[in-house]
Amino acid sequence: MKLKTRKEEYQEKKLIVSEHIRNNLNKRITISELANIVNISHYHFQRIMKAILGETVGNFIIRTKLETSALLLNYTDIEIQDIAHKVGYDNQPAFNKIFKQYYKITPSQYRKNKKNIILQNTDNFNEINLSPPQIIRTPEKNVIYIQITGEYGNNKYAKSWNKLSNFIKDNKLFDFGTECFGISHDDPEITPKDKCRYDACITVNQKVKPSGEIGIKKINGGKFAVFQYKGSYDNWGDIYDNIYNKWLFESDFELRNIPAMEKYPANPNITETDILEIEIYLPVK
């Protein structure tokens, strides 16, 4: 049995820490709590995490909370006070203050600015090969995944999908129900491009242990509006503009507080020039 390298061990711990933070944004998260979860000495935890996260843990927590709140301001009608509570602030004035420090405007101004944007690319769905959605329910799914940090579509994607595919093959995890999902956690209009996070995921039906940068987790089930898209990456921004800023605002649905997913029916190693056939899963209620 191959022993894990120290780097692989820390990559596993990074995934555990980032998932715990993302799943507990409404709570006060302490450094001691995180250090205990991954069994790292409190004396060294912050330096180790800074090395593998690329920023301090405290900054990562605050940035994740504020960027999540910006998404909720953009795409929901949830009251600002309730958004503050969802990201762990007990009172709105404290939330307003730190939000303004980060975005240079207040949450109410941020929401107003978004609603005043006139979109230039909200054409008919047929013109961009995007189908009207089907509303479905899906169960939770167990996946192996690699989290990629950086500008969406960077050169790490192909390597990550190949690593996942090889892991599936080497551990005999493939079956006829295997599915590939991509989860983009951040909006590049809100999060700096070099901090955007994307999870490349492949479903598994057997017990499996994490291995270095390959983690294991459950992806959310529930109700989704599923759009089918066929085309290239050339107008990918227009696709999401249509979904979020046209279909969603004109529908009777609200977003659930989890990220959207993309399902790839074939090889997820795609390039900007390929013709894609992708299902976009928008979490709704």
CB atoms within 10 A of CB 88: 18
What gap in Å lies between CA 186 and CA 191, rounded to an integer?
6
CB atoms within 10 A of CB 151: 15
What local confidence, expressed as pLDDT, does residue 121 receive? 39
pTM for this structure? 0.75
Superfamily classification of domain 6-115? Homeodomain-like (1.10.10.60)
Q: Which residue has the tokens 């977003």?
A: 255
What gap in Å lies between CA 115 and CA 95, rounded to an integer?
21
What local confidence, expressed as pLDDT, does residue 117 receive? 44
Looking at the chain, the whole-number percentage of residues with pLDDT higher than 90 is 39
What gap in Å lies between CA 271 and CA 44, rounded to an integer?
40
What local confidence, expressed as pLDDT, does residue 146 receive? 94
Compute φ and ψ for 150, nearest 5 degrees. Answer: 140, -175
Q: What are the residue ranges spanned by the domains of the chain?
A: 6-115, 127-283
Fold category of 127-283 in CATH: Multidrug-efflux Transporter 1 Regulator Bmrr; Chain A (3.20.80)
**pLDDT tens digit sequence for 143-181:** 999 999 988 877 788 889 999 999 999 999 888 888 999
Q: Quick one: how far is CA 74 from the chain centroid?
A: 16
Q: Quick one: how far is CA 142 from the chain centroid?
A: 16
Inform me whether the pLDDT recorded for 21 exceeds 50: yes
What gap in Å lies between CA 276 and CA 271, rounded to an integer?
9
In which band, very low, low, confident or very high, does the pLDDT at 42 lie, cut at 50, 70 and 90? confident
Q: Quick one: how far is CA 77 from the chain centroid?
A: 21
Inform me whether the pLDDT recorded for 232 exceeds 80: no
- Please tell me the number of Cα atoms within 13 Å of 278 on its side-chain side: 25
**pLDDT tens digit sequence for 50-92:** 888 888 999 999 999 999 999 889 888 889 999 999 999 988 9
Compute φ and ψ for 182, nearest 5 degrees. Answer: -115, 135
What gap in Å lies between CA 86 and CA 68, rounded to an integer?
9
The amino acid present at 38, given as its one-letter code, is: V
What gap in Å lies between CA 130 and CA 75, rounded to an integer?
20
What local confidence, expressed as pLDDT, does residue 222 receive? 95
Strand partners, 229: 130, 278
What local confidence, expressed as pLDDT, does residue 266 receive? 63
In which band, very low, low, confident or very high, does the pLDDT at 3 lie, cut at 50, 70 and 90? low
